[in-house]
Amino acid sequence: MSRDPSGVRVVALHVPDLPLQRVRRGREPGADGERPLAVVAEGRVAHCDPAARAAGVRPGGTVAEALAACGRLVLAQLEPAADRAALRALAEALLGLAPAVELSPPDVLLLDAGAAHLLAPRGGAREAGEEALARRAVAAAAEMGYAARAAVATGRGPARALAIHAAADGGPPGALFPGSPAAAPPGPPVPVPPGATAGALAPLPLQALGLSPDVAARLAGLGVRDAGALARLPAGALAHRFGPAGVLAARLARGEDDSPLVPYLPATLPEEGLELEAPAETAEPLLFGLKRLADRVAARLAGRGLGATRLRIVLRLDPRGEERIVAPLASPTASAARWLLPVKEQLFSLRLPGAVTGLRLAALEVAPIASEQLAFGDRPEALDALEGVLARLAVRLGDGALFAAEPVDRHRPEGAYRTVPFRPERGRRQAAPPRAERRLAAPALPLPAVAEAAAPDGEPGQPAAPPVPAIPYAREPAAPPDGPPRPTRLLAAPVPVVAEGEGGRLTALRLGDRARAVLAMDGPERLRGEWWASPFDRDYYRVRLDGLGDCWVYRDGRDGRLYLHGFFD
């Protein structure tokens, strides 16, 4: 499917009264008792909602006139910077729908519809794919809390003009359709075909073409009151009387706009906020508000193909101050449902010094989300459950308590790995690993294995060896495929042991204050090297000890002493 030669096909998404919608969505439902709302700037009403209009408030009127007409009116100041940030946030959520999304301030987004035919049913026309893309864009805006409407046309300027003005000024049926978080679009939308763009623009007012009010007034004095009349004027006369702006407006009225879209590239991580209707002193209302924020932040990350690995929650306290919480996640995800468990764990374990009046949720760290392709036998619900368990452990044990051991190319066993964030594998892309490797690919948690193993079984009063954290390998490191196996748990620091024997035969190893009988022994395997830094020379044995199982023990070639270094589970 080739592009239209006269210009790119564009879906223009218009958010009417964006400042008003931004203020409303930033407050909890029910805030201010759903009183009439108006956005004011320099003492005059810039935007007002239907309830305020019904009470007699009009855009352009003074604040005093508005309050006289509606004493219950809630006033909010116009914040252009916040409105631009809201438009950028909505663009992030749409990045997953189209090859390019352009910001067209103050309240329009332009989507490249060149690949929309891929959304059409098999054998369907391009218009069906463009209609599907427009519907998805409106639905995505609704999920972000904005009521929007869309138009599909050839060229950036025509699509933008149709999206803003067609509904109110009698545009072509179906070219424009409204969408809101609470209502579905009425009737099937029909995009403007490439050859009908000029006809769709003809009934629009001159302001839709971007002309300044004084130029529009001069044209109106000549009897030119809509885009169709402007399109019929000769280009030479327009250039002489109105300059380049008049020529550009006439080309736009004829549907001639081949300028390319300027893609928007986000520069910051997403963050969303919410004002609470009343100060909250329990976790339940906070969870309700955080669910809304999580849906919005997740939609923005999903549009960029990213998943959060750490979230930051900021609770604004009454009367002043704030509480900051960091929630680690088990794996990168843009699913808000998977965020709620660690967020809930954090909230219910928190003792706040005061009531909460506002919430903010931000993605603190992110990572690309790898594509998944499940194989027969995969159980995604098991991985989801594992992620829930890991999220709880990360919250209760502390940030950084969960890690995995990744092998590196070194001969020294304690240096043959490095710690990396633990990420459960979602979806197999190759044959299943051997049984032993699947068993070893477990959550890498520090375990006081030596202290537990060295404690005598059923013998109170015996001192145990000091706790030594055991670091499990993620898989068999550094050993060749046909070489001796490696232990599943490696001690962070080797523990000295004392050999006991009779007649030159090793019979027991003393660990701490207890001697454990040697049931079997295999070896040695010599490991040596790193002469350039800190040389080592060791003979490793696999020794089966009574009450401990198979252990990894080595004799140090420098001093001849024995050390316990790991366990074979």
User: CA-CA distance, 290 to 496, in Å (whole number)?
Assistant: 52
Instruction: Kindly report the pTM of this predicted structure.
Output: 0.69
| Whole-number pLDDT of residue 181 | 37
Q: Is the pLDDT of residue 395 over 90?
A: no
| pLDDT at 403 (0 to 100) | 74
The pLDDT of residue 18 is above 70: yes
Task: Name, of 261-265, 439-443, 475-479, 501-505, the range with top average pLDDT.
Answer: 261-265
338 pLDDT band (50/70/90 cuts)? confident
Q: In a 3-state reduction of DSSP, which class is residue 100?
A: coil
Query: What is the predicted pLDDT for the residue at 306?
Result: 92
Mean pLDDT of 445-468: 35
Convert the pLDDT of each residue in 346-392 to its tens digit.
888 778 788 999 999 999 999 888 766 666 666 666 666 777 777 77
Is the pLDDT at 262 greater than 70? The verdict is: yes
* Cα gap 313→322, rounded to integer Å: 10
Q: Over 60: is that where the pLDDT of 471 sits?
A: no
Note if the bond before 188 is cis, omega within 30 degrees: no
Q: Label residue 59 by pLDDT band (50, 70, 90).
A: very high
Residue from 546, 548, 552, 547 nearest 564 by CA: 552
Q: Where in the chain is the domain with CATH 3.30.1490.100?
A: 271-396
- The top-scoring range by mean pLDDT among 9-13, 253-257, 417-421 is 9-13
Which percentage of the chain shows pLDDT scores above 90? 36
CA distance 4 to 49: 39
CA dihedral 189, 191, 193, 197 (to 10 degrees): 110
pLDDT at position 459 is 38
169 has a pLDDT exceeding 80 = no
- Residue 428: the pLDDT is 44
Flag the least confident range among 85-89, 157-161, 228-232, 384-388. Answer: 384-388
493 has pLDDT over 90: no
Rounded distance between C-alpha atoms, residue 359 and residue 185, angstroms: 32
> By C-alpha distance, which of 514, 499, 525, 523 is closest to 548?
514
Per this entry, what is the length of the chain?
Answer: 569
Of 22-36, 96-110, 382-396, 504-518, give the range with the top mean pLDDT: 96-110
Q: How many Cβ atoms sit within 10 Å of the Cβ of residue 219? A: 22
Measure the CA–CA gap between 145 and 291, rounded to whole angstroms. Answer: 13
In the chain, the largest separation of any two C-alpha atoms, in whole Å, equals 120
Q: How far is CA 148 from CA 23, 164, 182, 394, in A?
A: 15, 10, 12, 40
Rounded distance, CA 288 to CA 327, Å?
A: 17
Judged against a pLDDT cut of 60, whether residue 340 lies above it is answered with: yes
CB 211, CB 230: distance < 8 Å: no
Top-level CATH class of 271-396? Answer: alpha beta
Instruction: Give the CA angle between residues 174, 176, 180 to the nearest 5°.
Output: 115
pLDDT at 285 exceeding the cut of 60: yes
Task: Kindly state the average pLDDT of the residues 123-146.
Answer: 88
Stretch 552-563: mean pLDDT: 91
DSSP 253-282: HTT---PPP------S--EEEEEEEEEE-S
Q: How does DSSP assign 456-472, residue by residue?
A: -TT-TTPPPPPP--EEE
Residue 449 vs residue 223, higher pLDDT: 223
